[in-house]
Amino acid sequence: MNLILSVLSIDVNYTRLSIHPTFVTLEPFCGHSANDPQTLNFLNIKLESPAMNPKSEISKTILSGATIHLPAKTLKTGSVVITNGCIAEIHEGALPNPKNGAIFIDLTGKILSAGFIDLHIHGMMGIDVMNIGPEGYGRLSAEAAKRGVTALAPTTVACPAEQLRKIMESIHAAREAGVPGAKLLGLHLESNFINVDFKGAQPGDQVFSWEDPRAAAIRKLLEQYARDTCIVTLAPEMPGGIELIRWLVKHGIAASMGHSGAKYDQAMAGIEAGATRATHLFNAMPPLHHRNPGLPGAVLSSPKVFAEMVCDGIHVHPAVIATTIAAKGCDRFMPISDGLEAAGMTSGDFLLGGQHVTVVNNVAKLDNGTIAGSITTMDRIVRLLVNQTGCDIHDALRMASATPAKGIGRQDIGRIVPGAAADLVVLTPDLEVETTLVDGKVVFSVE
């Protein structure tokens, strides 16, 4: 305990501590991903974070004069000062250019929001998470940043363990090396452990239960790459489903219920076991019925559970999006793209986990007619929420940033508050992305 107190006194930016016999691992509050811990060796204490090293050069950026969406209110005109990649100060009104070496960006007439966070994205712009190496994750990160995304969870479909191993090795390598745009939060596995009757566009021959002998190899990979895995989608009613939820919670991975035919009691048992979220609510599950509420009823009536929803205007009617926001509130509703490699494009032939997908008139379908993921992107989603569901801009931006961060336990991203990472998006009044910053650095800007 003494040690914890002394470490905390070094830098209050660090909020989470875990003790290992040899290491104290600090989960930084700012400027680094949760999987990029600063490590203090007991025998040879080394402090590498610039925020913790007074000799390191301080970089300062001033974003002045924007309409700023803070977590609880909007500043009509405000400014943000970024120091070493973190939000250091928030001011009401515009700030003058200090002409002292700080980078000064005049944002008069623009909107400044926390960057978007997409926790369910299979790919975009010709990139398919199932078929890329570390370099492909770099491209995905850069493409996502063009859409205002500052953090994402690349999403897989059910696949053999050998393929999953390559995917996990690749994302691990990409995260170690660093990426040029949006942060890689870790994988979202739309896993093998779903209900084949509600597989949607998932390959059915790779669907099996947590108790199936084939699950052992997947479990080993999840153990090995737990830090590179953010979310696992599963069906709680399948054999071993509840045990799997407990196992995921123990390994620090969010358990998400989806691709499931769970009855209300089965879904409630999943929530009781530790499931905290639902995967694309209403899609790939039986509909809400007033005498048979099922998984949707369990999710809608459980205040703590987060709900993902594909907000492309095709998977779910805008009126149902609005109804769900009303039921869950902005703090529990997470718009996702569920984007395919075709996302960001309007038509053509593409792949989803090796299956052929055709995009016609902005709708992606498998050859059997099943709707397969979407081709939307987070910037379009924010515009849809505002233009088609009656949601105000502040709430739409919050649901696209703060809520998904909260849903995976990240306090350091998704909000414009002092101490948080300066992961930001600058938008025009029409909500078109103009500039994206990650850790205070401009990673995308329209010409």
Residues that bind Zn ion (CB under 5 A): 190, 338
Identity at 360, one-letter amino acid code: V
Looking only at Cα atoms, what is the longest distance across the chain?
A: 67
What sign results for the dihedral spanned by CA atoms 318, 322, 323, 324? positive
Contact 181, 121 (CB under 8 A): no
**Which of 213, 177, 171, 174 lies closest to 189, judged by CA?**
171
Closest CB to Zn ion: residue number: 338
Contacts of 355 (CB under 8 A, 6+ apart): 201, 203, 366, 367, 372
Q: Minimum CB separation from Zn ion for residue 122, in Å?
A: 6
- List of E strands, 258-347: 277-278, 306-310, 333-336
Least separation in angstroms between CB 259 and Zn ion: 9
Q: Pick between residue 157 and residue 268 the one whose CB is nearest to Zn ion.
A: 157
Please state the closest distance from residue 50 (CB atom) to Zn ion, in A. Answer: 37
Q: How far is the CB of 284 from Zn ion (least distance, A)?
A: 9
Q: Which is nearer to Zn ion, 128 or 190 (CB)?
A: 190
SS3 (DSSP) at 118: strand
Q: What token pair was written down for 231?
A: 């979310």
H helix count then E strand count, the chain: 11, 25
Closest approach, Cβ 157 to Zn ion, in A, equals 7
Provide the annotated active-site residues: 338
Closest separation in Å from C-beta 387 to Zn ion: 24
- DSSP 8-state class, residue 57: P
Q: Which is nearer to Zn ion, 143 or 338 (CB)?
A: 338
- CA-to-CA distance for 250 and 280, rounded, in angstroms? 24
Could you tell me the smallest distance in angstroms from the CB atom of residue 142 to Zn ion? 21
- Dist CA 299 CA 281 (whole Å): 8
Encoding tokens for residue 144? 């996502």
Q: Which residue has 């052992």 as its token pair?
A: 216
Q: How far apart are CA 347 and CA 364, in angstroms?
A: 8
User: Please, are residues 181 and 444 in contact by the beta-carbon 8 Å criterion?
Assistant: yes
- Judged by CB, which is closer to Zn ion: 238, or 336? 336
Q: Which residue number, 190 or 228, has a Cβ lying nearer to Zn ion?
A: 190
Residue 87 or 119 having the CB closest to Zn ion: 119
Which residues face 111 on adjacent strands?
67, 427
Of the pair 312, 395, the CB lying nearest Zn ion is at 312
Q: Give the residue carrying structure tokens 């149902």.
A: 320
Determine how β-strand 14-19 pairs with β-strand 23-28. Answer: antiparallel
Is the CB of residue 101 less than 8 Å from the CB of residue 62? no
